[in-house]
A and B are shown apart, each in its own frame.
Chain A
Amino acid sequence: MTGPLDGMRVVELASEQAAWAGKLLADLGADVIVVEPPGGHPSRAYGPFLDDEPGPERSLYWWNYNTSKRSVVLDLDDTEDATRFRGLAGDADIVLEGEPTGRLAALGLDHEQQRADHPELIWVSVTPFGRNTSRTDDPATDLTLLAGGGPVWNCGYDDHTIPPVRGGGNQAFHIASAFAAMSVLTAILQRDVSGRGQFIDVSMHAAANVTTESGSFDWLVAKSTVIRQTGRHALSFVSQESQVRCVDGRYVNTGFPPRHAKDFENLRNWVDGLGLRDQCDEIVLLDLAVERGGVSLAALREDPLVTEIYGAGRSTLVFLAEHLTPEEFFVGAQQRGIAVGAVWSPEEAFANEHFVARGFPVEVEHEDIGRTITYPGAPFQAPKSPWRISRRPPHVAEHQAEVFGTGV
């Protein structure tokens, strides 16, 4: 069983912004050769490290973004190596790079200079502001891209004396890389028809800008500006809190309150089952909700009793969350048809029985250190062309000889 990109060759110039796109393509079966500068790419010096000891082969950051790839080292400022790169790129299906705009052209190595000889080549460039805007050469990082591109505006706390918050995990790179991967796949399908490749210009800033949901479309449509709010959607008005602290100090998201009679009945029976009826102030309203056949959202503003009943549903969810652990609340509510979530840390989710049962954690042999490492696995299950980590992340220049027939 092979991946959908089996047989395709990708040459990736190592970068932070496109590394995840390269990993996606590699885990989908492409032969991705990551080209690093002498000494290895700087992200090999990013923590965390294996056993907390720094080293180019010990960066878990590097590991995460470079599974299934092969590594070679080329000094693009060196004439011989530049020629090697030109040959490598010319033989590839796809070149993926996040170089500063203009650098490859100055070296005689960019797509413009190769397209005539290789019209079938797909070349994707991931840069902070794209290739052709007046901001093209502005310096940027994940933080400044997410701040200037919109996501940060939406994120933070009800208390606006606290700074807005950048979502964790270098997501500007992930967003841009997702669009790079989607575009590459589109270009492959196009090439299947036309036989021709093309140049793809990905702007990280643009990618962040179209990843803000109502932050953008409320303005585009109605010139309305959303307001950040703790643990829930930024909206143009202040909404009710939906994040609740559980009995053990961890949190849940209580989602939308119930509306249907069946949901209210389930909620009431859950309270009763836990023996909490006497402590639940809202129990009478829950009974009433069941009797009345639920609530209609349309009647919310018209009928004060409906408003009260609707509020009782939300209050009961808060009440239950405060008496339970996140796991008890999440599973209990979901089993009763109410969509809520536990606010888990990544490792809490990763260790959970559901993801284990689906085979999400995958074991990767690191024969070099005599250990098997558990990695996050398939983002989707495609039985005929599976996502797969085909090899551990490469050492610096590990595949120099097999790619070029010579050492570094």
Chain B
Amino acid sequence: MAPTLPTSGSSALSHLRICDLTGQLAGAGATKFLAAFGAQVIRVEDPVRQGSWDILRGVPPYVDERRGVNLGGAFNNHNVEKLGITIDLRQERGKELLRKLVAVSDAVTENFAAGVFARMGFPYDELQRLKEDIVYVSNSGFGASGPYSSFRTWGPIVQAICGLTFSSGLPDLPPAGWGFSYMDHMGANYMAVAILAGLIHRNRTGEGQWIDMGCTEAGLSLCGPDLLDYTVNGRPLRRAGQPNSNRSHAPAMAPHNIYAAAGDDEWIAIACRDDDDWARLAAVIDEPWAKDARYATIDGRLGSQDALDAQMEAWTKTRDRHSTAERIRAAGVPASVVASPEDRIDRDPGTSEFGLWPIAHHTEIGDVRVDGIPVHMSETDWSIEHGSPCLGEHTDGVLRDVLGLGDDEIASLHEDKVV
């Protein structure tokens, strides 16, 4: 007898079941949010290729010297609180199992390249036939239609295409871009919005639908003011001196930059929102140049921004980044070190007191800290206690408790390597 399926500590979405074929972060991050709020998220993976349609299964970081498909830290981080089953969808009996699961789910989610899930035998028509009001959300790089729909992406490609890489950098240098898959995070967030909004619509009307998300479009929607400057004023962001993303154009602020601090590769970010901020910062600096009358107004500071930045950095670069940031903040002016992972995870009360790094218990890895959810709800807050599922960890439990199969049938599915 298989063990009983684990349940979540949050009741926010515990009435919902998601048939989840997502992977990596752009998809898995969306269903992680739902799972943390109690949705029963059943991850379907491939037994033949050891779950490798998610390339994060079994890749570093690891907690110790052990290696294997169940031991990857990134996969664990993105898949806490989910159930994991394996189904061989190449076999007809496997397809039949997935059909049964769809029929008892509220939503089906995937982030394969466009068209892949349909070719596996599950176009939207079929999903709808199985469950008339199913909410199906697909998240691909370019969406399911249009000339590039067959093109493949991952975070850095999405960011390159949508303008986010270009808009992040310093003048006269190549694009710096985002040193991580920002659009995997924001793609996941948008996908969660799509799933939740689809379920709300279903609750109101009884209608399901296929929601087609193209991650590049989600990325473009994060470049709005620059796009409007182009469509309204005809001014492209690709122009001399731009971008300079460490400065602030909207609103105009100065000083506003990342400055060298004492030490090797240590930095401090400082932003003066208005003239009062500057007056307080100038008092902290307490040097004659900071009292220069031309710096008293925003127009004066913007007009001399290069000189001001040079003077600011001459002041910061002999000073410790932590104590300097604290002194500036104590004067009411926004400042922060460019925080290392250790700074912000282990030494910052702003994250620890928020409970941002819960410890999830993983069946094989053991206890490991993961990214929490950056919100708290007063009545039905999130809960993260269970680590990601091992490959096929909940197959028997789901077949029995969710799909109602008997022990003999489950044994036969194992025997034929369907699960």
Contacts and interface: CB of A to CB of B under 8 A. Distances in A.
A17 to B, nearest CB: 13
A175 B186 contact: yes
A334 B151 contact: yes
B174 interface: yes
A47 interface: yes
Contacts of A147: 258, 267-269, 336-339
Given A163-B258, A171-B222, A358-B143, A213 B329 contact: no
B332 A139 contact: yes
Interface in B331-366: 332-342, 344-345, 348-351, 353-354, 356-357
Interface in A371-408: 373-385
A206 B374 contact: yes
Nearest to B234: A347
A186 B333 contact: no
B310 to A, nearest CB: 13
Nearest to B185: A211
A225 interface: yes
Given A64-B225, A165-B169, A345 B197 contact: no
Contact of A51 (B61, B211, B233): B233
B194 to A, nearest CB: 5
Chain B residues touching A, range: 35 or more
A154 to B, nearest CB: 3
Interface stretch (B97-105, B246-254, B406-414): B246-254
A344 B238 CA distance: 9
Given A166-B246, A198-B379, A148 B220 contact: no
B200 A4 contact: yes
Contact of A144 (B15, B184, B335, B371): B335
Interface centre among B60, B158, B378 (most CB of A within 10 A): B378
Given A190-B380, A219-B341, A140 B334 contact: yes
Given A253-B160, A378-B217, 8 more contacts: A28-B197, A64-B227, A185-B196, A188-B196, A216-B371, A341-B161, A345-B238, A384-B208
B330 to A, nearest CB: 9
Interface string A205-222: 111011111111111111
A206 B227 CA distance: 28
B225 A61 contact: yes
Interface stretch (A129-137, A306-314, A317-325): A129-137
**Interface majority SS (helix, strand, loop, mixed), chain A:** mixed
Interface residues of A, number: 153
A349 interface: yes
Nearest to A45: B251
B175 A343 contact: yes
A335 B379 CA distance: 50
A211 B150 CA distance: 28
Interface in A163-184: 163-171, 174-176, 178-183
Given A144-B271, A380-B190, A373 B351 contact: no
A24 interface: yes
B157 A255 contact: yes
Interface in B60-102: 60-63, 73-74, 76-77
B223 interface: yes
Interface in B212-227: 212-214, 216-218, 220-227
Interface in A56-97: 60-61, 63-65
Contact of B213 (A145, A345, A380): A380
Interface in A145-167: 145-157, 160, 162-167
Nearest to B243: A168
Nearest to B370: A220
B146 A334 contact: no
Contacts of B238: 345, 347-348
Contacts of B192: 182
Contacts of A190: 11-13, 379-380
Contacts of A377: 217, 221
A132 B376 CA distance: 10
Interface stretch (A32-40, A229-237, A266-274): A229-237
A376 to B, nearest CB: 5
Contacts of B217: 355, 358, 360, 377-380
B375 A220 contact: no
B197 to A, nearest CB: 4
Contacts of A205: 350-351, 354
A99 interface: no
A146 to B, nearest CB: 8
B98 to A, nearest CB: 23
A224 interface: yes
B198 interface: yes
Contact of B154 (A153, A202, A255, A385): A255
Contacts of B277: 139
The 9 A-B residue pairs whose C-beta atoms are closest, nearest first, are A346-B163, A168-B167, A148-B336, A221-B73, A206-B374, A154-B179, A341-B160, A219-B341, A147-B269
A187 interface: yes
A301 interface: no
B388 to A, nearest CB: 12
A385 B276 CA distance: 47
B159 to A, nearest CB: 8
A252 B161 CA distance: 9
Nearest to A199: B378
Contacts of A170: 250
Interface string B159-188: 111111111111001111111111011100
A185 B37 CA distance: 12
B240 interface: no
Contacts of A361: 231
B338 A48 contact: no
Given A160-B265, A349-B162, A152 B258 contact: yes
A10 interface: no
A374 B220 CA distance: 13
Contacts of B25: 213
Contacts of A384: 201, 205, 207-209
B209 A178 contact: no
A140 B169 CA distance: 21
B236 interface: yes
Interface in A1-41: 4-7, 24, 28
A296 interface: no
A230 to B, nearest CB: 6
A347 B337 CA distance: 33
23 contacts: A24-B193, A144-B336, A188-B196, A189-B13, A199-B377, A202-B374, A202-B375, A206-B372, A207-B375, A214-B180, A225-B342, A232-B156, A334-B150, A337-B152, A341-B158, A341-B159, A342-B160, A345-B167, A350-B227, A358-B143, A379-B193, A384-B205, A385-B209
